[in-house]
Structure 1
Amino acid sequence: MLTDTHTHMDNQAFAEDREAALARAYDNGVTRMINIGFNRETIPTSLQLAEQYDWIYSTVGWHPQDAIDMKAGDLDWIESLCRHPKVVAIGEIGLDYYWDTSPKDVQDRVFRGQIRLARKVGLPISIHNREAHGDIVRILREEKAEDVGGVMHCFSGSWETAKLCLDMNFYISFGGPVTFKNARQPKEVLARVPLDRVLIETDAPYLTPHPLRGKRNETSYVRLVAESAADIVGLPLEQFADVTTANAKRLFRLP
């Protein structure tokens, strides 16, 4: 019983075989998935997917790479969608200092606005963090994000950063990189995170796990992530799958 807590199965990469890819996921034991709506284009398609399948849920939020495109009224639109029965979190939101697509001050403003919205509506948040560990932690603390908690999506930071996030009521999610042979830090962090705070994901169609690197990722491959992660923490796959699914159900309040 696996749960992919961060995927983009509405992406155009699945335009030709989306239904088959979702069937593969279900056949591989994926009983729940959280699809990410992260800008003006993907929020409607993510919600449409969640409405179509009873085992798929959606987030709504504004990605930091697209922060420059956020217009007046978009935050109100996101707030109105938080009442949708299949919306389980606000995200993915955060900071991205790798891609130079939105100025840092704009990312900061958009990030803070969505944390405040999450606290207003009582939903957890899904955090995108690329090369911005210190500012992410500082803003989460300043905006009292621990009131709602959430998940550090595809965590890439140190154990010290993970500990600060855990202290603020966040779960730590691991994806394809934890399967990579040369990815020492994610493995070391995973081994130290309390089991009741671990989540798994694919981030499909990106970050395909070993041994399929270079191919399109899809939600069915969360099983490969689970197999590697279970080995790292020293649990049988079935037990690890049950634990991480229970964690996802608790965080996102899934039935």
Structure 2
Amino acid sequence: MTPYIDGHCHLNSPELRGELDRHIDEARSAGVQRMLVVGTDLRTSEEAISISKGYFDSGIRASVGIHPHDASSVSSSLPEELTDLAKDPVVVAIGEIGLDYHYDYSPCKVQRDVMISQILWAEEADLPIVFHVREAFDDFFSILRDYPVDPERAVVHCFSGSLEEAKSCLDLGFYLGFGGMITFKKADGIRECLASCPIDRVILETDSPWLAPVPFRGKINSPLNMPLIYKAAAEVLKVRDSVMADAVWTNGVNFYRWENE
């Protein structure tokens, strides 16, 4: 069977980092052969790189960037110590970056400025972008009109927007990321978005340690739970489990440009 990917996880989080060997071994035993560890600020980006280097042969890769919650930790001019991280060969994406207006951890204008600076950084580094967008799609699309991202070079991870917003992302050529929320009882809207997404634009992820799928909702999530998410996605898209696995593996190889092995 084609192996699974976890297209977005936080093995650098306090909940998971203390037992990395166990979490990675369990995930690989469950068939998860690629895991993207995501940075949200300078420190966690450095940690993502460190984890990838330590577990490179276990399929761990890294992304680096400033999450919108942490946008206030930098100015619109990104520090060189951050941008230099993208030069490391284990880094396969810039992210997660974007806008989150659900909370006010960073002012909206600062979020927008830092998102723009990171789009330009990703272009210079020739890396795809992992976007985080929550309750901010109007401004997100407005920025992209002025600072376009090449088609097939971005994923909106943990997609939680409307069907119209999903279609707008797809019209831009973006991938959409889906995780444990597709198993939640009241997540019909997210399942509808997944159902509308061509299978060649789907990235599956845990976003661990958060958003564990049913029947583990409310517990610490880990890449071990990826098979549950794949099964749920296959049911939504009405395809065989093997078709789902093949498609997402191909999508991951194409998007992150990681080796197909």
Output the TM-score relative to the length of structure 2. Answer: 0.94
2:139 maps to what in 1? Answer: 135
Residue 161 (structure 2) pairs with residue 162 (structure 1)? no
Alpha carbons of structure 1 residues 103 and 72: separation in structure 2 relative to 1, 3 Å: closer
Which one of the candidate residues 54, 59, 63 is aligned to 1:59?
63
2:15 counterpart (5, 13, 37)? 13
1:123 counterpart = 2:127: yes
Note the alpha carbon deviations across 1:42-65, whole angstroms, 9 max, x for none. Answer: 011110110011201000100110
Deviations 1:201-228 (A, max 9, x none): 0000011111101110001111111110
The separation in 1 between residues aligned to 2:117 and 2:246, in whole angstroms, is 34
Specify every segment of 5 or more residues in structure 1 that has no aligned partner in the other structure, as ranges: none
Question: Which residue number in structure 1 is paired with residue 73 of structure 2?
Answer: 69
8 Å CA contact 1:119–1:147 kept in 2: the answer is no
* Cα shift at 1:159: 1.9
- Rounded to whole Å, the distance in 2 between the matches of 1:106 and 1:192 is 33
Of all paired residues, the percent bearing the same amino acid is 38
Give 2:204's aligned amino acid. I
For residue 213 of structure 2, the aligned residue among 209, 212, 216 is 209
Gaps of 5+ in 2: none
The 4+ residue runs of structure 1 with deviation greater than 6 A are none
Amino acid at match of 1:161: E
SS at match of 1:209: coil
Secondary structure of the corresponding residue to residue 19 of structure 1: helix
* Paired residues, number: 255
**Contact 1:171 1:198 (8 Å CA) reproduced:** yes
Give distance in 2, aligned partners of 1:167 and 1:198. Answer: 14
Note the C-alpha offset of 1:16.
Answer: 3.5
Q: CA deviation at 1:99?
A: 1.4
